[in-house]
Each structure stands twice: as structure tokens, then as C-alpha cells.
Structure 1
Amino acid sequence: MDFRTEIKPEPGHEGMISHTGPVVLIGSCFTDNIGTCMRDELFDVTVNPFGPIYNPASVRRAIETIVDRRHVETDELFEHEGHSHSFLFHSRYSAPTRAEAMLKMNSSIESACEALKNADILIITLGTTRVFCLTDSGDVVANCHKLPPKTFHERQLSLNECVTHLTALTDKARSLNPGVRLLFTVSPLRYLNNGAHTNTLSKSTLFLAIDRLMKERDNIYYFPSYEIMMDDLRDYRFYAEDMKHPTLQAVGYIYSIFSDTYYSPSTRELARRCGRFTRRLAHRPLGAAPDAKLNDTIINEFKRTNPNLSSIVDRYISDGI
């Protein structure tokens, strides 16, 4: 007798993602979770070049900015709490001066454009249809940067608006890279600030919008992150202390189904070896400083046996183990 509704990997997609094909991931904080898993297994990934983005309108604007290589200008930034910010970028890209912030943001745009141009897969994680709009202009923002509530008004994107945004971002991405495949998922994070019913309406609208897009465009795919969390794991022990975010254990379980769905057996085996390698590099003996010579030996041996991953290893190390 089965005591849970286990969600199995959907057949027919094995081999869609491999270590030889670049992947770009954009979307909610769950994108960071999955992107970190892939990064630690040495996939060629570009993860959230604007920081976490939650709604279809802001994801569309991010894709358009990447494809058009539209740099942030100084008059687009604003000052708050001693830093320069952009409404399109997360605070990780903010800086004490406008020049520093623009350098970080525009460098990320350039890198993301090169990555998307060569990507096999663009993975988009949508979180909510609730958007914050500037009171003065009505423009949707991706990040509020803790400005006073009166700066914004909040509203819900309609189904037609969501479909329009998803269609536009798909076509825009393919204007740069005609062969890129898009993989959508809905974040398992529950947005309960406006109540459980509003969260359900929001998630349902995202599901319907993605379904419409899949019927209107080719090579659009869907992965059931939200369903795995709600219908398979289905237990508060898989939620963090805020009772909204999935735990690392839950993320790991969802990622295991993701890898079983989209990786070939040989890619999964290589990913396991890469994971062991990066965990070994990250290991810090109790009370001891990292052994640079030992790490160099480990790195050189891994590169020797996996020469096609040498550049990815270098990038992984330069990004910080």
C-alpha cells in the first residue's frame, strides 16, 4: 500500500541537460537553490544575473535587458541607506557609489548576454503574479529595496498579462538564440503575506499561463517543483522555520527528480563525481587552515581526468569555493 503520492520523473527528456551545454537560470530564490546544485556539480551555469526575480513582468524585462545589452545608466539608480540601487537588480548588486553599482550590474548584463547567446536551455522559475508598482509611474519593480510602503502600490497580474509577458520573453530570448529551449517551473515557496487564497490564485495563474505558452510555442517544457513540494513531500518537516521556504533536504529531493528527468545516466554519474570533487575542495579540517598544496593536487588530478571541465573548474574556484 502506498502512503504518499510520489511524483516520478517525466519520461522522454533524459539527456536534455549535460555538462557540454550552457544553461541560464533566471527567477525566484528557488532558482538560486537549483543553480547552486548544478554549479556544485560543475555544469556550465549562469544563475540569476539580476538576483532573484519573482514575477513574469520583471523576468520579461530582465530578458529584454540581456538581449538588448541595455546598460544601466546613472539616472536609473537611486540612493537608499547609503547605497545605490536599481529596481531591476537585487541588493547584492547595490554599492556605496553609482559607479560601483553600474559596473557590477552592467558586467552581469554582458556576461548574461554571452551566456544566453550560447545556451542550450533557459530555465525560468516563476514565484508569484503579485507585483509592486511605483506609485508615481506605475512601473513594475523587481525589488523594493526596503523603501517606504507608500513608494509602491500592489496588484495582481491577470492571466492574459502573464501570457503576454511569457510569450514576449520567449520570443525575445529566441531573437538572440533561435535554438534555445525554455524550461519553466513554479517556485515551491508559498507567498502568504496576502493570505493562502491569494497565493493559490497566484500560483494557479502561473500554471495556466505556462500551459498556454506550451500550446503556442515549440520547445517549451515544464518541471513540477511546486507539485513535488505540495503533493509528494507534503510535510512541514520539509519547510524551514518560516514555514514558507523549502529546507535544504527538500531542495535536494526536488533536484534529484530534476536530474533524473533531464540528465542522462552518464551525465548523472559525472555530476556525482563533480559533486564529490567540489565537496572535497570545500572541506575544512577542524582547527586547520586550508591546505593549498593539497587542493592544487586535487584540482590538477581532476582536470587531468576531466580536461573538458577545466575552464568550469577554474571559474568555480575564482567564484569562491
Structure 2
Amino acid sequence: MRKTEVKALKNKLSLDYDSKCVFVGSCFSENIAERMRNCGFNVVNNPLGVLFNPISVAHVLTNPSEILKESSFLQKDNIHLNWHANSKVYGANGLESFQEEVTKLLEDFNQNLASADVLFITFGSSFVYKYKATQTRVANCHKVVQSEFEKELLTVDEMLVVWRRVLAVLKEQNPRLRIVFTVSPVRHIKDGLIENNRSKARLFELVTALEHEDCTYFPAYELVMDECRDYAYFEADGVHPNAFAVQRVWEYFFETYFSKDTQKTMQQYLSFKHFFAHKALHPESDEHISIVQKQEGKFKDFLENHPNIKHQ
């Protein structure tokens, strides 16, 4: 059977170890940012955790005052949370301490955004939940009872108004910023398969309307749903792409954006990391100690010749 392949992008964007990349949004942002960080690139991602809908992503990028409003914070048991953040971002030392923590996260993120070269934005769903008590659209319901929320499907026109304003603000703050949009291939089946498709369709319409010279599209959705259209590429839930699918997206990503020289440097760096991560059978042997010392010297020289690699 013939395999469906996503054609190579006609791409003008090139990344190297001098590039500063910011990732926000859904799971693609987490997966690719982690791969890049492991390869020593300068990466910042999701200060408030994974976010799915375009309105919540917009708040993180250009509307921190909405996030920091007193009504945006809530308490469950002895834990403090924020309606505009993922549940993994929480405070256990009182409200004031958590407010300071969220403020610092946003300040650091905005500083990084102002000096970034590329911003990768991943949208996951057009569905949002409005907290009835404050009429606030939230990023996460934090397992508060469902009756407290009203579910909405955002219109393309509404999202366009918000995102044209977001892009204008971003370009004013950082004129050289390049922006890449992508749509998450993770299906939100709890919404229903038909509803999920309608939701994704609106995201594609939004991204298409926003594309111009400095805003492009990366086909993560197509890579997973077309090239990897087999359950062998998904986790047991049949929804989330597994390591094989993520690897295919990553390969397409670095083939698209990294020059041959950057790819070569990356492979050299990973070779050193793999060597030092390997557990020797006889680490105390003279032979192994000698090999390690030689590799440490080579690695030191390598890092001195590539000072922009963020070694962890």
C-alpha cells in the first residue's frame, strides 16, 4: 500500500544554536521544546503549563493582567490555583506566595519573548469553558464540578479579532520575531469525534487567516493523522501520539528548520551526551577511566567551540 507523505515545506526559516525559541500552547509545544532542550538549544516553553484554546494562549502572550486578577485565583483544599494556568502550576504556601510566583513566571516569560527569534504556537481546541460565577473563560477547570461551567465553541471571527491584536502587540514588542502556528493532532474525544473535527476545522481556518510573511504553518497535525495513520503510532488510549509518532514529527521538524551544519553539530553533542549517560560494566577499570578522561577533554573543547549550546 502506498504511504501518504507530507511534502517538505518551502521554508525560509532557519534555526541554529544562536536561535532563541519560545513554545506555547498544546502538547506539540511540550514535546518539541523538550527535544530541542535535550539537544542543547535555547528554549523557553509554556510558563503556565499546557494550554489548549486560543483565548488562553493569547492571555499568556499579551494579557498578563487578566491572569493576575484576584478573581483569577482559586483555592481547592489547601492548594491555590489559577483559572488561566494548567493544574500543574499551583501553590501550597498561601495565596500571596502563589501570586508572586505566577507574576515572576509571566515576567520572566515576557522578557524571553521580547528577545526571542521564533515563537511556536500550538492550538488544541476551539472549545472553551466559561466559569459562571465570574463569566470568565478559563484555561483549565481544575476538576471543579461541571455544572459550574458553560461550554462554548469559539467562532473563527471571534478568534481572529483576538489574534490579530495579539500579533500586532507581539510585532511591536519584538519586530524581528518570526511566528509558526501548528494545530495539535491530539483529538479531544470527550467532546465527541464530530465535535472535535468541527473544533479543529475552526483552528485551521484561524491559522490560515493569520498566515502572512512572518507567520507560517508547521504540519504536525498532518504528519500524525496522515503519515502515521495507524494505531501503532498511538498510545493505548488511541488518542495521544506515542514516541514513534513524536519522533517522526521531530525528524520533519529538524529537517525543515535546521541546516546541515546545525544537524551535524547536534549529532556530535548528542553523541557526547549518550557516551556520558552510558553505564559501564567496569567503571573502575583503568581502561574505562582513561577513555572517560579523553572524552571529557574532547567534550570541553567541543563546548568551548560552541558556546551557545545550552548544556544540561
TM alignment of 1:3-42, pairs within 5 A: 3-13=2-12, 16-42=14-40
Contact 2:123–2:183, Cα closer than 8 Å, also in 1: yes
Partner residue in 1 for 2:194: 197
**Taking structure 1 as reference, are residues 65 and 123 closer, same or farther at Cα in structure 2, changes over 3 Å only?**
same
Partner residue in 2 for 1:291: none
Q: After TM superposition, give the deviation of residue 92 of structure 1 in Å.
A: 2.4
**Taking structure 1 as reference, are residues 219 and 81 closer, same or farther at Cα in structure 2, changes over 3 Å only?**
same
Partner residue in 2 for 1:136: 133
Aligned-partner SS, 1:182: strand
Tell me, in whole angstroms, the C-alpha distance in 1 between the residues paired with 2:126 and 2:120.
18
Aligned-partner SS, 1:251: helix
Q: Determine whether 1:44 maps to 2:39.
A: no
Partner residue in 1 for 2:287: none
Partner residue in 2 for 1:258: 253
TM-score, normalised relative to structure 2: 0.88
Tell me, in whole angstroms, the C-alpha distance in 1 between the residues paired with 2:293 and 2:169.
42
Which is worse superposed, 184-193 or 266-275? 266-275
Tell me, in whole angstroms, the C-alpha distance in 1 between the residues paired with 2:292 and 2:83.
40
TM-score, normalised relative to structure 1: 0.86
Q: Determine whether 1:270 maps to 2:265.
A: yes
Q: Determine whether 1:156 maps to 2:153.
A: yes
Q: Determine whether 1:84 maps to 2:80.
A: yes
**Taking structure 1 as reference, are residues 135 and 286 closer, same or farther at Cα in structure 2, changes over 3 Å only?**
farther
Partner residue in 1 for 2:185: 188
Aligned-partner SS, 1:252: helix
**Taking structure 1 as reference, are residues 178 and 303 closer, same or farther at Cα in structure 2, changes over 3 Å only?**
farther
2:226 pairs, out of 231, 237, 240, with 231
Q: After TM superposition, give the deviation of residue 30 of structure 1 in Å.
A: 2.1
**Taking structure 1 as reference, are residues 83 and 263 closer, same or farther at Cα in structure 2, changes over 3 Å only?**
same
**Taking structure 1 as reference, are residues 99 and 301 closer, same or farther at Cα in structure 2, changes over 3 Å only?**
farther
Q: After TM superposition, give the deviation of residue 88 of structure 1 in Å.
A: 1.4
**Taking structure 1 as reference, are residues 165 and 287 closer, same or farther at Cα in structure 2, changes over 3 Å only?**
farther
Q: After TM superposition, give the deviation of residue 152 of structure 1 in Å.
A: 1.2
Aligned residues: 305
Amino acid across the alignment from 1:196: L
Partner residue in 2 for 1:302: 299
Tell me, in whole angstroms, the C-alpha distance in 2 between the residues paired with 1:283 and 1:194.
44
1:221 pairs, out of 216, 231, 253, with 216
Query: Where does structure 1 lack aligned partners over 5 or more consecutive residues?
Result: 289-293
**Taking structure 1 as reference, are residues 303 and 222 closer, same or farther at Cα in structure 2, changes over 3 Å only?**
farther
Q: After TM superposition, give the deviation of residue 186 of structure 1 in Å.
A: 0.4
Larger radius of gyration: 2
Amino acid across the alignment from 1:141: V
How many percent of aligned residue pairs carry the same amino acid?
28
Partner residue in 2 for 1:63: 61
Cα deviation 1:150-199 (Å, max 9, x = unaligned) = 22111100011122222222112112111101100001101111211111
Contact 1:123–1:182, Cα closer than 8 Å, also in 2: yes
Contact 1:30–1:187, Cα closer than 8 Å, also in 2: yes
Tell me, in whole angstroms, the C-alpha distance in 1 between the residues paired with 2:129 and 2:275.
43
Amino acid across the alignment from 2:247: G
Amino acid across the alignment from 1:56: P
Cα deviation 1:268-310 (Å, max 9, x = unaligned) = 112222333344455566999xxxxx99986774343233655
1:72 pairs, out of 48, 62, 68, with 68
Cα deviation 1:187-245 (Å, max 9, x = unaligned) = 1101111211111111111111111111xx43110011101111111101101111111
